[in-house]
Amino acid sequence: MNILLSGFIALVILDAGTCNKKTDCIDKSKIDTTLACTREYLPVCGCDSVTYSNKCEAEKQGVTAYTEGACKTK
């Protein structure tokens, strides 16, 4: 019983230390809605699981990390 309880407490502590990718991947200080981006469609998948039409559009929204290509649907 003590081992089970200790394991549960360790999991709770470890889980509390993990980051929330959807909120941590947006840097609010970098959001610039006045930034002019081209209209070319070269999609990127933001760390917030949103597909942006290009890198500029992602960066305009403060996205700090992205991969080339549209996000995969679940």
Q: Is the dihedral of CA 64, 68, 73, 74 positive or negative?
A: negative
- Residue-number span of the structural domain to which 65 is assigned: 25-31+40-73
64 in a structural domain: yes
Query: Are residues 50 and 29 in contact, defined by beta-carbon separation less than 8 angstroms?
Result: no
18 in a structural domain: no
Predicted pLDDT of residue 12: 35
Q: Which two tokens stand for residue 33?
A: 């809605």
Per-residue model confidence as pLDDT tens for the chain (74 residues): 555 434 434 333 333 343 445 558 999 999 999 999 999 999 999 999 999 999 999 999 999 999 999 999 87
11 in a structural domain: no
Query: Are residues 56 and 30 in contact, defined by beta-carbon separation less than 8 angstroms?
Result: no
Predicted pLDDT of residue 24: 86
Query: In angstroms, rounded to a whole number, what is the distance separating the alpha carbons of residues 29 and 61?
Result: 10
